[in-house]
A and B are shown apart, each in its own frame.
Chain A
Amino acid sequence: MLAKIHITLKKDVLDPQGKVVANSLNTLGFETVQDVRQGKYIEVTIDEEDTDIAKQKLNQMCEKLLANLVIEDYSVEIE
């Protein structure tokens, strides 16, 4: 099965890249853009039958390696 993982900076962590992108969008005329937050998207193909077990393992992967929980939040979606 295919897991889609989104990793985003926590709300209280400054995202300087996002701010620069937001400024550029404003410059391009998209004046209604108020904020941009940049993150990561990771696809993991995993050989599991049971969705619950897969989800449990994917959460562990995020906690152990894929995300840094000091600064990032993650969400896992399984197709």
Chain B
Amino acid sequence: MKSKVIVFPGSNCDRDVAVAIKQISGSEPQMVWHKETSLSNSDLIIVPGGFSYGDYLRCGAIASTSPIINEVVKKANEGVPVIGICNGFQILIETSLLDGALIRNNSLSFICRDVYIKSENQTSIFTKKTNIAKMPIAHNEGNYFASDETLKKIVGNDQVAFKYCNQEGEVTSQSNPNGSLENIAGILNDRKNVLGLMPHPERAAESALGCEDGKYIFESILS
């Protein structure tokens, strides 16, 4: 498994995700600085969480203009699996690889706590091994928004990867932490090889971190 982790100025989950992938796959991911222009021989590309460029302008907007992004888009269009976590999700949205927008949490607060999510799509390479999973969120702009037309398209095309739910797996308004439309926590592209999600699976991928549910997402890709 040749995986690549893209590193932007302000990324802060790059090493966490690299550790998680190493532990689960056995092979060390390659860290790729955002000024690089090649991602040849990639089986998996991770756009990690953090605060790229200090969230200037809009979260992910500046990072989406980095040189490496052209290559990420090219590889995604070739079918290489790409995951954007938290700020990485925001970046993928800004590149238009994923539909919709991530706006400020409806509470206006930065939220950092564990949530439950359930996989809505059951067949993608990212979701086939997951069902109800607990993992943390840590964001200020994670409120998923899309126009009625886009929402209809992603729901109809089975592109909703994860929804926020309660411990029993029920999708309720109480279990929606940030105001996301239809409790959406993660979405896929049309071809289902690009995933963006706000929760952090890499922060819940080993027992020492208090929860191992996050590793099912990585195991799902590696299986």
Contacts and interface: CB of A to CB of B under 8 A. Distances in A.
Interface in B83-140: 94, 100-101, 103-108
Residue among A12, A14, A17, A70 with max Cβ neighbours from chain B (10 Å):
A70
Contacts of B147: 12, 70
B23 interface: no
Interface residues of B, number: 18
Interface in A40-79: 65-66, 68, 70-71
Contacts, number: 32
B200 to A, nearest CB: 23
B104 A66 contact: no
Given A13-B103, A70-B101, A65 B108 contact: no
B61 interface: yes
Q: What is the interface of chain A mostly: helix, strand, loop, or mixed?
A: loop
Interface string B57-71: 110010001000000
Contacts of B65: 65
Question: How many residues of A sit at the interface, in one of the four size bands?
Answer: 10 to 19
Interface string A1-41: 00000000000111011001000000000000000000000
A66 B57 contact: yes
A23 B147 CA distance: 27
Contact of A71 (B57, B103, B106, B107): B103
A65 B106 contact: no
Contacts of A71: 101, 103, 145
B57 A16 contact: no
A65 B62 CA distance: 8
B108 A17 contact: yes
Contacts of A66: 57
Nearest to B94: A68
A70 B108 contact: no
Interface in B131-160: 145-147, 150
Contacts of A68: 58, 61, 94, 101
A66 B38 CA distance: 27
Contacts of A65: 57, 61, 65
Give the most central of A13, A65, A66: most B CB within 10 Å: A65
A52 to B, nearest CB: 25
Contacts of B150: 70
Given A16-B108, A68-B101, 16 more contacts: A12-B147, A13-B103, A14-B103, A14-B106, A14-B179, A16-B179, A17-B104, A65-B65, A68-B58, A68-B61, A68-B94, A70-B101, A70-B145, A70-B147, A70-B150, A71-B103
7 contacts: A16-B108, A17-B104, A65-B57, A65-B61, A65-B65, A70-B145, A70-B146
